[in-house]
Amino acid sequence: MTADLGRQVDSIELIIMDVGGLPRLTQEFRSIQTIRLDTSGLPGGLYLALFRSDGQSFTKKIIKQ
């Protein structure tokens, strides 16, 4: 999975959750603009990616084939 953040971020946490809300992958990144995360260990399906940085958060839907 690749996500372009649009700007350099000092610190960001990424949590990949299944549709039941259970965390499947968690990783923290520092001084980054583009996140690359290996999701090959996850089975196909629908996931939510929760990004948290500087007291803000946003969620994106991921469909893994």
Residue 1: pLDDT band with limits 50, 70, 90? confident
**How many domains does the chain fold into?**
1
pTM for this entry: 0.87
Q: Whole-number mean pLDDT of the chain?
A: 94
12 CB burial (10 A radius; 0-12, 13-18, 19+): buried
* Residue-range definition of the domain harbouring residue 27: 2-64
Q: Are 26 and 32 in contact (CB under 8 A)?
A: no
CATH number of the CATH domain containing 57: 2.60.40
Spatial separation of the C-alpha atoms in residues 25 and 37, rounded to whole Å: 9
